[in-house]
Each structure stands twice: as structure tokens, then as C-alpha cells.
Amino acid sequence: CVTLDVQAACRDTTVTQELLKEGFHRDLLVKVELGEDAGGCAVAAQVRLPPGIYVDPYELATLQQHNLTKAVLFPDVIDVEAPEYLARDVVLLLFLEPEARCSRCFRAAVPVHARYHRPAEGTGEASVVLESPEVLLCCCHSHPSAECWEPAEVDTPCSSDNTRPCQWHSPKHRPASEESMLRVPVGLREHNSLVCALTLLTTGLCSGLILAAACKYGHFS
């Protein structure tokens, strides 16, 4: 009976994520519905971003200055120019805001960007798999239910504007959520020769035009 009561009390926490917009520049929307009332606790989603997708730390800093989003990146230094095959995973801790009509519902969105991939053979797309986020709860003035939540190894404060460390917790019972798939346009390997030839021709033509203009209009002493 005790086991049944614990399972009944620990209602499932659900998390969903959506990639909005099209192309290389998207918005990642994360929505969470807790199994119990948060009771003034901070709620966050920990998202592991694979090498094919990233958050621009400069853009994120601007959004946080205008109080449009709150998040922490690990590591906080990211090469935004690196292609997918030279990048590495990034962990995003996204602080969620409560929804007005639901005391157990939280959501947040953050801009994400796809990286350039190597040319592929036979297909014009590369797939980037975005795993389901991990839901985290941080109660600085109370403790969540021990039956439903367990300590999580997250070394960060309860909010993006607080420096005091906090103990985060993750739900013990959570159903598996579907992964999100981002499809990125890539070049075709069979077009390599054509692309190289056109690039060389265009570079030579533009260099010739610049040189001709310099000779005609330039003033040389």
C-alpha cells in the first residue's frame, strides 16, 4: 500500500520541446508540466546541444539584459564560426517561467542556430538529434518531496542572476519523451568539382575586375 501511495503521489512530470521557424536559425521552445505544485521553487530544463546546433552566447547575453530569457551555458565560451565536425557538445540550463493559467506549467524559449556540416553523398540534408531535456527543480527555501525528487549533479545557482549555489533536484518518475530532429541543408559531394571550378572562375573574374579598376582609376606616385 505504501508503494502504491508513493506512486500515486508522484505524478509524472512531462516535458516537451519544439523547434520553431525554418532554416538555420530557430527558436527552441521547452514546456514542462510538473507532477506537483512547484511551491515557489525555480524550475529549469537542462538541454544537451549536440555539435550540430548551438546557442550564441553574445545573443543570449543581449536577451538576458532585456529580461527576455534566462539561461546558463556550459562552457560559456563557444566558437560560433566552427563547423559541426569541429564543434563539441554544449549544455544549456534554461530557466523556465510559470504560465498564468496553470500553476504546474512552465515554459521558455531561446534562439538556437544550426552549424554547417560536411557535404553528404546522395542526400542534401544532415540530421541533428536533440535529446529530451532533463527537468530540474531548485527550492532555496524548502525541500521537494523525497519520494518524488532526487538530488541532481548540477553546479549552478537557482537563477541566472544569483551567485549563491543551490541544490537542484530531478524527478524520479518521468515518462520517456520523444527526441526532436533538426534537418540541416548540406552540399552534395558529387558537386565538388563543379563548385570548385565555379569558385575559381568567380574569384579570378572578380580579381581581374578589381585590378582593372585600380589601374584605370588609381593614382600611383
Cell output for 120: 553528404
Amino acid at 144: P
Per-residue pLDDT of the chain (221 residues; tens, 9 = 90+): 223 333 445 777 888 899 998 888 999 999 998 877 777 788 999 999 999 999 999 999 999 999 889 998 988 889 999 999 999 999 999 999 998 888 889 999 999 999 988 877 767 788 888 888 999 988 866 677 777 788 888 777 776 566 666 788 888 766 556 678 788 777 666 666 767 878 888 898 898 888 888 887 777 66
| Full-model pTM | 0.77
Q: Identify the pLDDT of residue 192.
A: 67
- Give the model confidence (pLDDT) of 145-178 as tens digits: 777 788 888 777 776 566 666 788 888 766 556 6
Contacts of 145 (CB under 8 A, 6+ apart): 9, 10, 36
* Residue 102 pLDDT: 84
Distance CA 137, CA 129 (A): 25
Residues 108 and 45 sit within 8 Å (Cβ to Cβ): yes
* pLDDT for position 160: 58
